[in-house]
Structure 1
Amino acid sequence: MAQTAHALHILVKHKEQAEDIMKQLKQGKKFADLARKHSTCPSGKKGGDLGEFRKGQMVPQFDRAVFQGETITPQLVKTKFGWHIVKVLWRT
């Protein structure tokens, strides 16, 4: 079972905005560009890059998505902070 991961994310307040960003990603827009433009998280300035982190460091819903969800394919996750579009780059 993976213990570390490297992920990108875009954090927004509303589900509708998150769904719109997902559509833009499917249309070929770059994740980093959308993160810089829309993310309310400080990581948005780095294209949404959260770097490498250990299992259990993030809130439970985010942690589950990162360590149990697909890699590379962006997914929507709801947490107490808002709506995340999460893209897992790798897990080890």
Structure 2
Amino acid sequence: MAQTACALHILVKHEAQALDLMKQLAAGANFQQLAKKYSTCPSKKRGGDLGEFKKGDMVPAFDKAVFSCEVMKPFGPVKTRFGYHIIKVLFRT
């Protein structure tokens, strides 16, 4: 079972915006460009890159999604106290 992951994310305030971003990603939009343009997280400067982190480091709903979704495929929206996340896991180890 994976203990670490590396992921990108886009954080927005409203579910409708997150769903719209998922549609754009499904149509071929660049994840990192969307993160830079729309994300409210400071990681937006790095295209949403959260780097590598350990299981349990993130809030529970985000953590569960990261360690269960398909790698390299945008997933979401995932609701946390911060808002709605679109997640793209780059790898798990």
TM-score by length of 1: 0.98
1:88 paired residue number: 89
Q: Which residue of 2 aligns with 1:69?
A: 69
Q: Secondary structure at the match of 2:71?
A: coil
Q: Which residue of 1 aligns with 2:37?
A: 37
C-alpha distance in 2, partners of 1:18/1:55? 24
Which position in structure 1 is the counterpart of 2:17? 17
- Extract structure 1 runs of 4+ deviating beyond 4 A: none
The number of residue pairs the alignment matches comes to 92
Consecutive unaligned residues in structure 1, runs of 5 or more = none
Gaps of 5+ in 2: none
Opposite residue 74 of structure 1, the aligned amino acid is: P
Task: Find the aligned partners of 1:18 and 1:68 in 2 and give their Cα distance.
Answer: 19
The AA in structure 1 aligned to 2:51 is G
RMSD of aligned alpha carbons: 0.5
- Matched with 1:50 is 50
Fraction of identical pairs, as percent: 67
SS at match of 1:68: coil
Find the aligned partners of 1:22 and 1:44 in 2 and give their Cα distance: 17
